[in-house]
């Protein structure tokens, strides 16, 4: 087991959605210091406002595309969580930038880890590496079936971790995130924007927009569970592995809307159906067994519980 207490941890993208929740959960583990490394393009200081009050969290503004920024911030660091990346739609619009940030940036992070003597890195991959699932629930043995630039960068990132582990002995675990949602989520996210669209439309007493016929599915996993998964991975002695971060439950877009309608007491809502972007995967349903068996992680928060937390955050965010 790797001990976090008294150690120095760096979180790339630590002011972002998932990264900031990892920071919050890390504080409870009593490390000596948590360095949030973020360029604040997607991440915000507001996401780590409470964490900064702990006295052990430091914000370093830097960019993973700049090796000198990473080398300076990485000195004396014991462990790293790597969450910094371009999101899916940006990668599709600017594939060269996707390569610069997601692939070369990840190489820079791994190289800086080796130079600083980091003991282990836990990194964000994506279920996008699977592309359209050939079977369900999709487990980690599923072949790479990706056809998007974003997914291509995540396939490359996993291979870079394997290469650094083999050449330099840098221990790692990568997480293939399914559909992560929760407080602080990006309103623009390709797969999760349905949640914010539904909430905003219901609150305004307007018709929510469903892309497609509502049968598309997601494997919704609450961001707090994802933070716990990352910490469990760091603590474990497991290395050179990729895991799904999945709830193991399939939720359709229509079921998602029905849950929010119940939570917001808006039974008179009638959705509007619009064409769906056919580039987006129509079904996500991940197998969580490997993570449970090897690192002891199992998602705890149900979609209904998690969506309640999203609504609480959304209400505060509107003020």
| Count of positions (residues) in the chain | 319
Structure tokens belonging to residue 166:
């083999």
In 3-state terms, what secondary structure has residue 286?
strand
Kindly report each contact of residues 266-271 with a partner whose C-beta sits within 8 Å and lies 24 or more positions away, as own/partner: 266/202, 266/205, 269/202, 269/207, 269/208, 270/207, 271/207, 271/208, 271/209, 271/210, 271/214
CA distances (Å), origin 55, targets 27, 31, 237: 10, 11, 29
DSSP 202: H
Structure tokens belonging to residue 234:
């760091």
Asked whether 227 and 22 are in contact (CB, 8 A), the reply is: yes
Q: Which residues, 6+ apart, have CB-to-CB distance to 130 below 8 Å?
A: 138, 142, 144, 145, 146, 176
Asked whether 25 and 225 are in contact (CB, 8 A), the reply is: no
Structure tokens belonging to residue 123:
């990194």
Structure tokens belonging to residue 78:
């014991």
Structure tokens belonging to residue 150:
């974003």
The CA-CA-CA angle for residues 61, 63, 64, to 5°, reads 135
Asked whether 14 and 83 are in contact (CB, 8 A), the reply is: yes
Q: How far apart are CA 195 and CA 216, in angstroms?
A: 14
Query: Would you call 150 a catalytic residue per the annotation?
Result: yes
Among residues 79, 135, 147, 150, the one annotated as catalytic is 150
Active-site residue list? 150
């Amino acid at each position: 087991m790797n001990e976090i207490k008294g150690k120095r941890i760096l979180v790339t993208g630590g002011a972002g959605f998932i990264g900031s929740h990892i920071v919050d959960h890390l504080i409870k583990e009593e490390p000596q210091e948590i360095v949030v490394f973020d360029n604040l393009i997607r991440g915000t200081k507001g996401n780590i406002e409470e964490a900064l009050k702990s006295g052990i969290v430091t914000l370093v503004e830097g960019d993973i595309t700049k090796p000198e920024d990473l080398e300076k911030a990485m000195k004396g660091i014991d462990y790293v969580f790597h969450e910094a990346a371009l999101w899916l739609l940006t990668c599709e619009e600017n594939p060269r930038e996707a390569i610069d940030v997601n692939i070369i940036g990840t190489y820079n992070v791994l190289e800086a880890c080796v130079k600083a003597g980091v003991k282990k890195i836990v990194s964000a991959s994506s279920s996008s590496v699977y592309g359209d699932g050939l079977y369900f629930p999709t487990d980690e043995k599923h072949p790479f079936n990706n056809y998007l630039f974003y997914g291509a960068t995540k396939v490359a990132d996993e291979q870079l971790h394997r290469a650094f582990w083999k050449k330099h002995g840098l221990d790692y675990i990568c997480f293939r995130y399914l559909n992560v949602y929760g407080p602080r989520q990006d309103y623009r996210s390709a797969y999760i924007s349905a949640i914010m669209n539904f909430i905003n439309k219901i609150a305004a007493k307007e018709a929510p927009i469903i892309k497609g016929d509502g049968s598309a599915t997601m494997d919704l996993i609450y961001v707090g569970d994802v933070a716990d998964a990352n910490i469990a991975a760091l603590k474990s002695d497991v290395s050179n592995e990729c895991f799904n971060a999945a709830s193991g439950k399939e939720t359709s877009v229509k079921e998602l809307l029905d849950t929010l309608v119940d939570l917001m007491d808006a039974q008179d809502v009638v959705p509007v159906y619009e064409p769906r972007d056919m580039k987006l995967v129509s079904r996500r349903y991940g197998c969580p067994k490997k993570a449970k068996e090897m690192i002891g992680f199992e998602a705890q928060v149900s979609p209904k519980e998690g969506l309640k937390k999203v609504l609480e955050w959304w209400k505060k965010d509107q003020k």
